[in-house]
Amino acid sequence: METIEHIVLSALLHDICKAYNTNDFATSNGHFCEILSKKFNILQKGSNQSDTDQWHYLTQNYYKDILKKDDQKTVLEQIISAADYFASAEREEGFQKNINKIKSNRLIPILERVDLKNQTHPTTHKLPCTKLSLDREHIFPIDKNKPLKDETININEMIKDIESIPDFKKETHQNEGIRLRCITGFLLSIFEKYLSQVPANINTDTPDVSLYDHLRITAAIAEGLYEYHKDTNDLTPNTQYKNKDIDKWLLVCGDFSGIQNFIYKLTSKKAAKGLRGRSFYIQLLCDTSAQYMIQKINLFPTSLIYSSGGKFYLLIPNTTHHISRLEKATDAVNSWLLTEFRGEMYLGIGYTKVSGKFFEAGEMGIKWKEANEALQKNRLHRFSSQILTSEDFFAPQELHSDNRVCQACSRNDSAADIQIETEKETDNKIQKCRHCRRLEEMGAYLTDTQHLLWAWNSDIEIECHRKYVFSFDNEMRCQLYFYKKRPDKTLLSQLSNYSLEIINNLDEPEEFGFRFIGKWQRFNEKTIEFDELAKKAKGIHRLGILRMDVDNLGEIFVRGFDFLGSCDKQMGSLSRIATMSRQLNIFFSGYLNIIIQELNHKIKDEKVQIIYSGGDDLFIIGSWDKIPELANIIQERFKEYCCHNPYFTLSAGISMVTGKYPIYHAAMLAGRDESRAKAIGEIFSDNQSPAQTDQTNQKNALCFMDTVIGWEDYHSVLEIKNLIEEIVNETKHRAIIEKLNTVVYSVNMFEKTKKSEKYSFDKIYELVCFQKWRWQLIYNLHRMSSKYSDDTIAQIEKLQSIILNLNNNTRLPVLSWLEMPVRWADFLTRKEGKKSDE
Ligand SMILES: [Zn+2]
């Protein structure tokens, strides 16, 4: 083993004792080391290093040596202890990590602590100390004072997972480094499963960083620290490893642009299969690229701080050769993207130098921002190095012979390999390019895929259900295999660089890799097409498209961790950022699948499906009548997941189209509506009531039926909509809708005049208009009621009183959104079947 390997491994394991239910730290660390050395030959004691420089010694003695002064420690001991210090950013050096002072043995959700006003607000929640799972009772916060079951992590179960990793075939020294990095990957995955909800520190009031995040961040910091000092030829016992001013690391931000266009550009009518294949493929592509880069830079998988939703962050050593490898790897990915996708997608990279002081609480946000700014600059020069190196960059693309055009994505170049296929159901001949064929195929078997096997540079023939190959350069090739059942483990032992992931399932025993992915759910045998979803809708036959994302997330990353520590031991910034982004991703990539399943189950029908969901946003498609309900469930669960922290909110846009409408446009419409929802603060911005000012910047809104509401009004909208619907059903007449529409119309007219005449808003004028509107409503409804039964009259009166008495301490007055419940009820009660307005 190389020195760097001993460093990273012991940094990753230094606190593993905290997973044991004992306070004998040294013995527990020793026990874990033994398990690993027994399991993997490669990890046994080597002769390259002195005994005290071996990972076993470093891990086992970490707690024995913690009280030693730095000058009594070896170089490697100093590096690991410095990395731990930066990952935890403890205030005082050398504080005794003793377990005797337990203050809280449950993880405090970081999502509750985030604050945009630089304040420390009280925390009232804790997370159960359980294995990671998609069960609500495992990952949702609970009241701090609620007694918990005496649950602890089952260390034996965790060890069983480790022991289930197939042995590597005859281990030779060749590829040793690769295999070690591969083992680190397995351990990371297993730690994530068992240690994500175990606090890293229990002798502090607010343990908000998990043991898993603390361990991986310590390993990433240690790798950078060692490589930096090695590069500067400064690995002496007297070196200041804890120096906070030297830029020893780089924070790298990678981002794929063009993803949305690629996913949604499908033009064909039967797009469901293609669309979900595309979305899945993109997520795999982004992760494969990130993995490729890590391997090319020769880093450990621990350097990947975060990866989801087409974005990833790396912490790498700040040396010239790491930078040049990073740039080379980025170029290789971009050259590949250029040939494969004709420049539709681009990997942008931005990075910034980081010194030790930025690991301190609240400081990493600055670097986060800088890396993103560098990324924006980089994007202005898309493909610049490809332009320089490829001679035919500006040459016109050769058209496909026979003038063929892909009927799914409109590609027409010669490289597209367009073939004519015969559709099974219709016998129609259809032209499709290589990508579209493959991605449709992927979409078709995706629902059944349970395991993914990623094998790098393997020549071994592996049996599988389906396979996909990514080859970014001539040296590195990733083969991705899809399985319905777990592949045979003897087969895996022949590989030296791989990972095996079970999808959206953490309950299976003896797994050593998993992946959450927001994906299309299996409901029955047949794939439902978009026009069928539209036809299933109650009322008019429309498809509903929902786009939703977390408000102000950029701001949260930059400023959200500036809250003051309550007392002594502060956890470092990077550990906190890592914990938070991981927790958000669990909600979107993992838990959202459960919400969808529950809804379809409840209505015993397949009415909503995920097209994409991960990172901090989602794209859902379904019968329109279920979409607003779903959006509200998602935002309510999300609020609960974030402990009702007012800084974590979601905004949503819902568009409605016919089942045959191009999905690309539908996606754009929903995106536009999402932006309109987020701009809720601008509605009536010329007339701010005191209730509005504070919340104006808080988006937290929904745009549906071309109308915006703050989520706080959702239940009023629902109540009004339900009453109108009942009245229509009972009277078998749509008069109520017509009457309300006149009111909606006059409100809209009033708004328009106000805008066009740049009318300086006058309280009296407003009052007159408002009164006029009230009287109109009362008059209209009153005139109507004379014809109906007492029950209906009572309902109409109730409706009237709800609308008139809605107290306006929400952000928008009822007159601004009355259109939403009226049109909603209107669409629900229309009969479709005869000549519709499709
Ligand atoms: Zn195509």
Cα distance between residue 447 and residue 599, in whole Å: 18
- What pLDDT is stored for residue 186 in this prediction? 97
- What pLDDT is stored for residue 99 in this prediction? 46
DSSP one-letter code for 297 = T
Report yes or no: 400 and 413 within 8 Å, Cβ to Cβ.
Answer: yes
Residue 481 alpha carbon to ligand 1 centre in Å: 23
How far does CA 838 lie from the centroid of its chain?
A: 36
For residues 67, 73, 79 and 81, what is the CA-based torsion angle, rounded to 10 degrees?
-10
The token pair at 786 is: 């004379």
- pLDDT of 838 strictly over 60: no
Residue 468 alpha carbon to ligand 1 centre in Å: 17
For residues 207, 575, 281 and 553, what is the CA-based torsion angle, rounded to 10 degrees?
80
* pLDDT band at residue 104 using 50, 70 and 90 as cut-offs: low
- pLDDT of 760 strictly over 60: no
- What pLDDT is stored for residue 684 in this prediction? 65
Residue 152 alpha carbon to ligand 1 centre in Å: 51
How far does CA 536 lie from the centroid of its chain?
A: 30
> Most confidently modeled of 52-56, 298-302, 750-754?
298-302
Cα distance between residue 188 and residue 456, in whole Å: 18
Q: How many Cβ atoms from other residues are within 10 Å of residue 121's Cβ?
A: 14
Least confident of 17-21, 154-158, 341-345: 341-345
Q: 710-716: long-range contacts at Cβ-Cβ below 8 A with a sequence spacing of 24 or more?
A: 710/680, 710/810, 710/811, 710/812, 711/632, 711/635, 711/649, 712/810, 712/811, 713/810, 713/811, 713/812, 713/814, 713/817, 714/632, 716/802, 716/806, 716/814
Cα distance between residue 629 and residue 613, in whole Å: 18
Residue 675 alpha carbon to ligand 1 centre in Å: 30
CA-nearest of 109, 112, 110 to 129 is 109
Least confident of 18-22, 274-278, 608-612: 274-278
- What pLDDT is stored for residue 236 in this prediction? 94
Residue 435 alpha carbon to ligand 1 centre in Å: 6
Residue 442 alpha carbon to ligand 1 centre in Å: 14
Residue 274 alpha carbon to ligand 1 centre in Å: 10
Residue 464 alpha carbon to ligand 1 centre in Å: 25
Residue 437 alpha carbon to ligand 1 centre in Å: 7
Residue 406 alpha carbon to ligand 1 centre in Å: 5
- What pLDDT is stored for residue 793 in this prediction? 87
Residue 334 alpha carbon to ligand 1 centre in Å: 20
Using a cut of 0.85, tell me whether the model's pTM lies above it: yes
- What pLDDT is stored for residue 769 in this prediction? 66
Residue 436 alpha carbon to ligand 1 centre in Å: 4
One-character DSSP codes across 605-648: S--EEEEEEETTEEEEEEEGGGHHHHHHHHHHHHHHHTTT-TT-
Q: Which comes out higher in pLDDT, residue 361 or 826?
A: 826
User: In which residue are the tokens 């403890």 written?
Assistant: 90
* pLDDT band at residue 39 using 50, 70 and 90 as cut-offs: very high
All residues at 6 or more sequence positions from 531 whose CB lies less than 8 Å from its CB, including other chains: 269, 543, 658, 659, 660
- pLDDT of 93 strictly over 50: no
* pLDDT band at residue 396 using 50, 70 and 90 as cut-offs: low
Q: Report the mean per-residue pLDDT for the chain.
A: 86
Least confident of 40-44, 194-198, 234-238, 348-352: 40-44
* pLDDT band at residue 142 using 50, 70 and 90 as cut-offs: very high
The pLDDT tens digits of the residues spanning 609-625 come to: 999 898 899 999 999 99
Report yes or no: 574 and 364 within 8 Å, Cβ to Cβ.
Answer: yes
The token pair at 771 is: 């009164």
H-helix or E-strand containing 697? none
- pLDDT of 28 strictly over 50: yes
Residue 439 alpha carbon to ligand 1 centre in Å: 9
* pLDDT band at residue 567 using 50, 70 and 90 as cut-offs: very low
Residue 151 alpha carbon to ligand 1 centre in Å: 52
Residue 266 alpha carbon to ligand 1 centre in Å: 8
> Most confidently modeled of 17-21, 91-95, 611-615, 636-640?
636-640
Residue 445 alpha carbon to ligand 1 centre in Å: 19
- What pLDDT is stored for residue 762 in this prediction? 59
Could you tell me if residue 732 is left (phi over 0), alpha (psi between -120 and 50 degrees) or otherwise beta?
left
Residue 477 alpha carbon to ligand 1 centre in Å: 24
DSSP one-letter code for 398 = P
Could you tell me if residue 367 is left (phi over 0), alpha (psi between -120 and 50 degrees) or otherwise beta?
alpha
The pLDDT tens digits of the residues spanning 700-757 come to: 999 999 999 999 999 999 999 999 999 999 988 888 999 889 888 877 777 776 666 5
Residue 140 alpha carbon to ligand 1 centre in Å: 42
The pLDDT tens digits of the residues spanning 400-411 come to: 677 788 888 888
The pLDDT tens digits of the residues spanning 670-710 come to: 999 999 999 988 876 554 444 444 444 679 999 999 999 99
- What pLDDT is stored for residue 690 in this prediction? 45
In Å, how far are 213, 227, 506, 633 from 252, measured between CA atoms? 18, 16, 30, 35
Residue 519 alpha carbon to ligand 1 centre in Å: 22
> Most confidently modeled of 40-49, 75-84, 339-348, 435-444?
75-84
Residue 309 alpha carbon to ligand 1 centre in Å: 23
In degrees and rounded to multiples of 5, residue 622 shows phi and psi of 175, -175
- pLDDT of 397 strictly over 80: no
How far does CA 571 lie from the centroid of its chain?
A: 23
Residue 425 alpha carbon to ligand 1 centre in Å: 20
Cα distance between residue 186 and residue 168, in whole Å: 13
Residue 405 alpha carbon to ligand 1 centre in Å: 8
The token pair at 94 is: 């050398």
Residue 440 alpha carbon to ligand 1 centre in Å: 10
- What pLDDT is stored for residue 102 in this prediction? 59
Residue 434 alpha carbon to ligand 1 centre in Å: 7
Residue 432 alpha carbon to ligand 1 centre in Å: 5
Residue 411 alpha carbon to ligand 1 centre in Å: 5
Residue 471 alpha carbon to ligand 1 centre in Å: 20
In Å, how far are 18, 209, 211, 427, 577 from 92, measured between CA atoms? 21, 18, 20, 75, 22
CA-nearest of 497, 562, 425 to 176 is 497
- What pLDDT is stored for residue 72 in this prediction? 85
- What pLDDT is stored for residue 393 in this prediction? 64
Residue 537, helix vs strand vs coil:
coil
Could you tell me if residue 580 is left (phi over 0), alpha (psi between -120 and 50 degrees) or otherwise beta?
alpha
Report yes or no: 543 and 624 within 8 Å, Cβ to Cβ.
Answer: yes
CA-angle at 587, arms to 585 and 590, nearest 5°: 85
Cα distance between residue 468 and residue 441, in whole Å: 11
Once rounded to an integer, what is the mean pLDDT over residues 90-97? 44
- pLDDT of 95 strictly over 50: no
Once rounded to an integer, what is the mean pLDDT over residues 637-646? 96
- pLDDT of 194 strictly over 90: yes
Residue 408 alpha carbon to ligand 1 centre in Å: 5
Residue 409 alpha carbon to ligand 1 centre in Å: 4
How far separated are the first and last CA of the chain, in Å rounded? 68
Residue 669 alpha carbon to ligand 1 centre in Å: 23
Least confident of 159-173, 540-554, 567-581, 632-646: 567-581
Residue 386 alpha carbon to ligand 1 centre in Å: 24
pLDDT > 70: percent of the chain: 89
User: In which residue are the tokens 């009318």 written?
Assistant: 759
- pLDDT of 31 strictly over 90: yes
Residue 412 alpha carbon to ligand 1 centre in Å: 8
Cα distance between residue 492 and residue 352, in whole Å: 39
Residue 289 alpha carbon to ligand 1 centre in Å: 22
* pLDDT band at residue 558 using 50, 70 and 90 as cut-offs: confident
* pLDDT band at residue 52 using 50, 70 and 90 as cut-offs: confident
